[in-house]
Every structure is written in structure tokens, then in C-alpha cells.
Chain A
Amino acid sequence: MAEYGFDTLAVHAGAQPDPATGARITPIYQTSAYVFDNADQAAALFNLQVFGNIYSRIMNPTVAVMEERIAALEGGTAGLAAASGHAAQHLVFHTLMEPGGEFISARQLYGGSVNQFGQAFAKYDWHVRWADATEADSFARQVTDKTRAIFCESIANPGGVISDLEGIARVAEQAGVPLIVDNTLASPYLIRPIEWGAHIVVHSATKFLGGHGNSLAGAIVEAGTFDWAKSGKYPTLTDENPSYHGIRFYETFGDFAFCVAARALSLRDVGSCLAPQNAVLVLTGIETLPLRMKRHCENALAVAEWLARDQRVAWVNYAGLESHPLYPAHRKYCPKGAGSVYTFGLRGGFDAGMNLVNRVRIFSHLANIGDTRSLIIHPASTTHRQLSDEDRIKTGAGPEVVRLSVGIEDVKDLIADLDQAMG
């Protein structure tokens, strides 16, 4: 099979001229359902015996192009889209977990994921144990016979912490459980977690993949490398499934069985499907992912260097700076750039942070990241508000912290904006 380069895949993977019309750009298949050829074909489709479209909660030809493109960029066997990054995470755990099960997660996480794991998932009787993304041994210490998965973000939101993927993958291997990596902040342009041993990659495609702040979207990619049958811990994949006449997903679909099960069971039953309009916006965004990520990282570094020299700034938490303790991790895992989302603290503390977000004129004060536009937020009073004081500090969102998502504008304008706003 041909090995195409990353930039070629970003433009082409998954797409081809439309078989019906020859349209070169992926059409938006705005339809809820698809006619069957005949009763026999309908039955075969419902039994998963043939590949085809049934109902857009389960599959849609536009959404499928996005799924395949992200799978190709991550180097996985298959992908599955969801309505949001959170929906994607939910589908992954819904496929893996049974009541009473546990998983281990890095505590350096997007605040929304801390809530999802600690609170929403507890209602399903799935329980999270926390570890430190920069210390693989801290995961090993949390392994029990109930552990079913290990989770971390490749580059963590909001602190920009670069996880020790290789070390954490080794712990997962020894524990016999899959490593799930949220690759939202790095995007496959900076880090391809599967190459470090991840078995499942999840994305909030809302961020850098879509890249323009115009659509919520999520994605799951499967590496195709995990043996689901070995431990007997993943009955959804290995046991006879009553809603599909007793088929076993792993036996039937092999190295893309996880995505088929997540689609045909969890997505079917949970219903968090992606709209085709959003898939097209994400696909268009992905075409320029390599160009944008390069610029995002260049701008992020220049802004971080400027902040680090400024007297009004107490500290800058950007692994791209040579003085940062995670600089070696940046050189190892993502030498093309340390991402463009990071935090810094103003000497003026909480009040100075609030003043800054009120005074900026180019940076937008909002709760998102990974947009072409530069974004700024004060996590303690917004995204991480629901957490306890202790958890806020643990996730890197203390009271004096300001988070930037540096965009692709002229960097001199970004620096001038921060300069005037810091007063």
C-alpha cells in the first residue's frame, strides 16, 4: 500500500469524487435515511453483513469521509465521528466499560473531562483513579484487577503539559489494558500517539482539526493493535451480541472491531451522532491543518518568549521554552512545536488576570481553543469553575492563571495587544 505524506493525506484521505455526480468536494449528504435495494439487502445491512448506509444516527457518507481522514492522519485502522469531543469520549468508555469497572486518567485534563470522568461516569458505576501525566509510575500504582483502560491527553489543557506517552503506554501494556489518548491539543501534525503505543485516540475536532471555531465535532481512531480477546475483560467486543443475532465483533471485524462496535452499539444506542454539515466544515479545516499548526506553534513560541521577558509576568508555562522543565519532553514527543495552548501567571494575581481579559482587543475572551483567532480565558472563573480549589490547582488552573490559545494572526499584533492590555 502506498505511504502518502501527511500533507497529502490531510487534503485527500477518505475523499474521492462523488460517484453519482462527479462533485470534487465531498457533498453534504443531508439525509436521515437511505433506501434499501430490496428486502434481502436491508436485512443484510441490519445484520452488518454488507457495508452500506441505513440511518444517519449510525452512519452518513459525508461523516464517513471525516472519519477516514482523521484515521489516516493518526495512522489508525478506522475512525468514528461523534457530535463533540465529549461525545467521542463517552462512546469509547461506553464500549469498554461495564458497571463496577475502573480506569486510570492523568489528572492534567480539560476541566470538562474531569467532570465527565468523576461525576457523569460515576452514575454508570465506572470509576476513575487519578495519576500524573509526567510520571508513568504514578499510573502503575493505580492499577487494580478492575482497571479497564488508561487515559491521558497528549498535550494537556489548560497547562500545556506534555505527557510521557511512551512510559504510560508501557504501563498499559503491562496491565493488559488499552491506552486512550486525547490528541486534541497536539493534533496528529505534532504527535501521533499510536506511534508511541496508544490503542485508541480521541479528538475534540472542535479545536485544531476543524480549526476555525465554527463546529462542534468529535472523533475516535482505533490503532488496530489491541488484542481484545486475551483478557476476557471486554465482553462488548468478544461476547455474542444479542442485538446482532449473536455475532462477536472482534472475531468478525478484526483490527477495526472497536470502531464497528462503538458505531453499531454505542452510537446506535447513545445517539450522539455528528451532523454532516459539521463534518464538511471539519474536513475543510483539516486540509490546512499542517499549515495552520506550523503557524500556531511559531506564534505561540514568539508570544511565550515575549511574555517570559516581561516584568509584569510571574511565570510562563510553555514547554517550547528552553527553560521549561518539559522542554526535553517537547523535543522528544513533538519537536515540530509544543502546541499553541498554554498558561501564564501575572504578578498582579487574580485581579490582573481579570483586567487582562477585559482589555484585550484582538484576543477573544471565550471558552474555546484551537481557533485561527487568538483566544484568552481566565480558567479559574470559567472552564474550571466547577472544580474544587484543590482540583483547580492540580489541573493547572489556579487563581492567577491566564490561558492563551495563540492564533495565526501577525504575531507583532498579538504581542502589542497583550502589551497594551496588561497595562
Chain B
Amino acid sequence: MVPNYPDALIARILRSVKSIAMVGASPNPARPSYFAMKYLLDKGFNIIPVNPGQAGKEILGQKVYAQISDLPAPVDMIDIFRNAEAAGPITDEAIANKDRLQLKVLWMQLGVINEEAAKRAEATGLTVIMNRCPKIEYGRLSGEIGWFGVNRRVIDNRKPFAFSQGGSLRRG
């Protein structure tokens, strides 16, 4: 089953999280994870790349960590840019570091669904989102993705803030 989430939940997450650890962040500018990282950095999020092969280097000016256990606190959200199988152990590592990092949200990328891992994470009080991209959701709920003709499925009758300030997402 494809999970479905209310817009209000996604909006609340995107409004409240500040630090996002991106597991599977790539230094290759043609990769979707690079696109998402670039976009979210532009929107003012603090993005911390996690990739064992790149540990100690920088991606988009941000220091890369080898694993979740190495991350400095606080981290509000972990965004998993790996396949559904890999998402299992990554989720367990996130759970093990939940209290130390003050972690609140576990997010799996577009196309990534791991129901078992999601259940384990939710049991510890984490909010879990699967099969979504935070970049696309930010663009959709702020209104900015409308510039690409994307159907946002949102009707907003109020004057939005400038998209650089969060657009419709900012007011909630």
C-alpha cells in the first residue's frame, strides 16, 4: 500500500525541523540527492550529509559524516536517500541514536517504503514519512513548484509570503 499523509502533517514537519541528516547524500551534482540537498540548503535548513565513502570531505560546503552514530546533536530529522532494504538498518541506527540526537522525524525518500522499519520507528515515538521527497513537498506546500506546472492539489485564498520566505507554508 502506498502510504498517504495529510498535508497538515507534512507542513508541520517542514515548518518545525531545522537540522536534517541526509543519509546517502551524493557529491555527484547529477544525482537527485544532490538536487534535494541544494534546494533544502537554499531554503535555510541545516543539512548534514551522511555517506561512509565521503566521510571527512564536504558536499555543498557541508562536512560529511560516515554514519548516524558520528553525528553531533541536535538532528531533528533523518532523510533516507537509500533503497528500501538499506532503510531497515539505517532506521535501527536512527532509533539507537534517537535520544542523543533529539531526533523527531524519520523520512524515507520517494520510492522508498519499508513498513517494518516504519513500525519500529513509530513505536519509539518517531514520526515517519515514506515515499516522499522533502524538496518536492516543500515546493508543493510553499506553492513554488507551481512554477513548473505541477498539480499541488492545494487551494490557498490568502496572499502568500514570498517563496524565499516559505510561501504558503510559512503561514500554516
Contact = CB atoms under 8 A, between A and B. Distances in A.
Most central of B6, B42, B148, B151 by chain A CB within 10 Å: B151
Interface string B141-158: 001111111111111111
B151 A68 contact: yes
Interface stretch (B32-40, B98-106, B115-123): B32-40
Nearest to B161: A19
A44 B151 contact: no
Contact of A71 (B151, B154, B159, B160): B151
Contacts of B7: 1-2
Contacts of B145: 51
B158 A17 contact: yes
Interface in B124-170: 133, 136, 139, 143-164, 167-168
Contacts of A291: none
In the complex, which range does the number of interface residues on chain A fall in?
A: 35 or more
A14 B155 CA distance: 7
A392 to B, nearest CB: 37
A172 B167 CA distance: 40
Contact of A259 (B144, B149, B168): B149
Given A59-B147, A240-B30, A263-B149, A4 B38 contact: no
Nearest to A81: B149
Nearest to B165: A19
A259 B153 contact: no
B29 interface: yes
B110 interface: yes
B172 to A, nearest CB: 15
Contacts of A8: 155
Contacts of B155: 2, 4, 8, 12-13, 16
A78 interface: yes
Interface string A43-81: 010011111110000010100110110011000111111
Contacts of A259: 148-150
B3 to A, nearest CB: 13
B111 interface: yes
A252 interface: yes
A50 B133 CA distance: 13
B147 A47 contact: no
Contacts of A53: 147
A309 to B, nearest CB: 45
Contacts of A65: 146
Contacts of A228: none
Interface string A1-37: 1101000100011101111101000000000000001
A67 B42 contact: no
Interface string B47-58: 000000000000
Contacts of A79: 149, 151
Contacts of A4: 155
Given A41-B42, A51-B145, A240-B30, A256 B156 contact: no
B155 to A, nearest CB: 5
Given A16-B160, A18-B159, A47-B29, A77 B42 contact: no
Interface of B: 6-7, 29-30, 32, 34-35, 38-39, 42, 110-111, 133, 136, 139, 143-164, 167-168
A-B CB proximity, top 9 nearest: A67-B149, A71-B151, A246-B30, A17-B159, A1-B153, A16-B156, A79-B149, A78-B150, A22-B159
Given A17-B156, A19-B163, A263-B148, 5 more contacts: A1-B7, A49-B29, A59-B149, A71-B149, A72-B153
